[in-house]
Amino acid sequence: MFLKSTTSRLLALCALFAATLTSQALPNGADSCDVGGIVSGHGTSKFSGTGGYAINVKPKDITKGNFDISLSGSQFEGILIYVVDANQKRFGTFTAPQDLQFKPCSGGAQTTLTHKNSNLKDPSKLVMPWSSGGSAQGSVTIQAVVVTTDQRSYYTLKQTFDLASGQGATGAVADTTTTTNVNAISQFFENYTLFAVIIGIATFLYAFGAGMEALLRRQQRKAKQYAKDVTNGFAR
């Protein structure tokens, strides 16, 4: 009975552990500094296009190079966003709003933003102030990854705009450099490998517990028979 109860507890703990691991997003921000590196944390994107998301830029003070960057679209959980110049070097500085934080990356301590928790975020309430640091000229490109509420699905976005005029600052195009065609079978194994491992461990523990329980019962029967034989011997 003890082993059976213990095995049940182990199975319950394994199930809880599996559920926690398979549903947990990256709560402390993106694990990569680059849009292309997001694959290591979330697998290959299931979706093509922008998913209805858009990057918008509102000029705040063009003479000082100040802009408000925002997103439009449905709620999301995670984000990685930064701005690069024509040489693909990070450029400018952000001011981190609530639920976002700076991610130490190349170009400076405030060039890159990411989420600091896995709470749902409303794009309509999220403004990311960004500054070029002065009256810079030319075009820059905002690169971003938005992780959806599915947690393992994301969209990569790009938006280029001119620093002198702010033109081209509405909407977003899909990052066509990202592969979005995924084999359904490989995606299934990618999503549920950890869960399968936990189930395997739970099955092993159950089998081990059942075997030990059967062995204990056999020993108990032998002990009872031995005690009975001893009692009968004294009775004679």
Query: What is the separation, in whole angstroms, between the first and last Cα of the chain?
Result: 35
Asked if residue 80 and residue 43 are part of one domain, the reply reads yes
Asked if residue 210 and residue 174 are part of one domain, the reply reads no
Question: What's the predicted TM-score (pTM) here?
Answer: 0.61
Asked if residue 229 and residue 162 are part of one domain, the reply reads no
Asked if residue 202 and residue 91 are part of one domain, the reply reads no
The tens place of each residue's pLDDT in the chain, 236 residues long, gives: 544 555 565 555 555 554 444 434 466 667 688 777 765 455 555 455 678 899 999 999 988 999 999 999 999 988 999 999 999 999 899 999 988 999 999 888 999 999 998 889 999 899 999 999 886 789 999 999 998 876 557 888 999 999 988 777 555 554 444 433 334 444 455 556 766 788 888 888 888 888 888 888 888 888 877 777 777 766 55
Asked if residue 47 and residue 6 are part of one domain, the reply reads no
Q: Dump strand ranges (E) for the chain.
A: 54-61, 66-72, 78-84, 93-94, 100-102, 112-115, 127-131, 139-147, 154-162, 173-174
The CATH number for 52's domain is: 2.60.40.4060
Give me 66's structure tokens: 């100040």
What is the residue range of 153's domain?
31-179
Closest by Cα among 162, 158, 103, 98 to 132? 162
Predicted pLDDT at 42: 54
Domain count, the chain: 2
Asked if residue 104 and residue 52 are part of one domain, the reply reads yes
Asked if residue 149 and residue 77 are part of one domain, the reply reads yes
Between vectors from CA 183 to CA 181 and to CA 185, what angle results, nearest 5°?
155
Asked if residue 229 and residue 173 are part of one domain, the reply reads no
